[in-house]
Amino acid sequence: MGKKNLSAGFLFMAGFMVYGFVLIYLRDFAPGKADWIAAYAIGEHFEARLAHVHGNLFGFLNILIGYLLLKLPIRDRTARTISWLALAGMLMPLGILSELWFGLPPVLVIIGGVSMVAAVSMFGLAIMRNPGSTEYKSAEEPFSE
């Protein structure tokens, strides 16, 4: 458990980092940058930055969750549920972008947000309930299936 979260988290962060460069271009170099700066804190500009920040945060959370799932002795069923909930959490920033670009309702935002809160909460409870969860798994071949 956790390898999918590591991979998806790094790729997701990379994508939202590139999106950050697009936002920098729009703010600093694009034609009409003065209009962009004037509306920077409201409407579409705020939503764009919100997606960028949450995309990187949720990517990082998947990296952290994936690493810890590889290292901590969490039961397989619980670990699988946490892993999938964390992956589903990445729907939140994608939902923000789908609202911004396509005018879709915020369904993905809600599903993603609830999923990530559930994953983090479930992980916290799993660690608290498992007295052996502070003992790390062997570092040998952590990515073997």
Domain membership of residue 87 (yes or no) is yes
Question: In the predicted model, is pLDDT for residue 32 greater than 90?
Answer: no
Q: Which domain holds residue 20?
A: 3-129
pLDDT in tens, 93-138: 999 999 989 999 999 999 999 999 999 999 999 999 886 655 656 5
Domain count, the chain: 1
pLDDT of residue 132: 65
Question: In the predicted model, is pLDDT for residue 140 greater than 90?
Answer: no
Domain membership of residue 8 (yes or no) is yes
pTM of the model: 0.85
Q: CA triplet 57, 61, 62: central angle to 5 degrees? A: 120
